[in-house]
Structure 1
């Protein structure tokens, strides 16, 4: 198994598991018929399609060589810390500042980027995030620390 394409095998198995879970869980809703589809029809069919695509990825990967998987622990820790920080500070600092802090934090490892570029990236991503969630989706999220 060490010379197999482990990356595609694991990815395909995750897709199969997610597809089976979605198809089984969505059966709690009325599936209906092809002429009169219920709310569970689309999630069940999407789950089945995802599982089938996972099989199409996994089976060929069993018969081809692959490369070794390298986990970049430093990046994993910084990105996880950024996500946890975002969740912890969103209500306290608001969407714009929390997004900017998360971008700065997650761009720390392994990226050859100066502070000016990080700050510009943080501003651009914060503005895009604000536009998407506040205007595009109309979500009610505190934008600034003082906007409650």
Structure 2
């Protein structure tokens, strides 16, 4: 009886995430860990690293059981999302949080072919508003709201 082929691409991707998590644990190993109440500088990277390792191993195991799938690479979504991040980084100091975040979401949303202009504007406005409320008003991150 022939063994079914494993989804090697899924297994490889999952193991890459596990290795990244392991690297985070190793790099942050020299930092003070602290406690849950008084977190040290190593707490978050180590905790995230452990989660990445566990999730990577779980996903790799599931990839063993999943059917083989052909990889469908599309350059457009990747380029739009990466470009949107770069544009946000370039704009944040010049035009502030609101405009740069709106641009980020509006550009990244174009990676979805079926999205309408109205949906793009509503999504960008909603994400910008929530980001403003969480990061600027809630946490108090010192970022200019509009321009520098």
TM-score when normalising by structure 1: 0.77
Check whether the contact 1:14–1:54 (CA below 8 A) recurs between aligned residues: yes
Higher mean C-alpha deviation, range 75-84 or range 98-107: 98-107
Q: Partners of 1:80 and 1:118 in 2: how far apart?
A: 17
What is the CA RMSD across the aligned residues, in angstroms? 2.8
Which stretches in structure 2 are left out of the alignment for 5+ residues? none
> Between Structure 1 and Structure 2, how many residues are aligned?
141
* Counterparts in 2 of 1:57 and 1:90: CA distance versus 1, 3 Å: same
TM (norm. structure 2) is 0.77
Instruction: State the 1:120 CA deviation.
Output: 2.0
TM-fit CA distance, 1:91:
0.5
Partner of 2:19: 17
Question: Which consecutive unaligned segments of at least 5 residues does structure 1 have?
Answer: 33-37
Residues of 2 paired with 1:62 and 1:5: CA distance?
6
Report the equivalent of 2:128.
126
| Range 8-17 or range 70-79, more displaced | 8-17
Distance across 1 between alignment mates of 2:93 and 2:69: 43
Q: CA deviation at 1:8?
A: 2.7
Q: Deviations over 1:44-100 (max 9, x none)?
A: 566345424433332452454321121221111111111110000111111001111
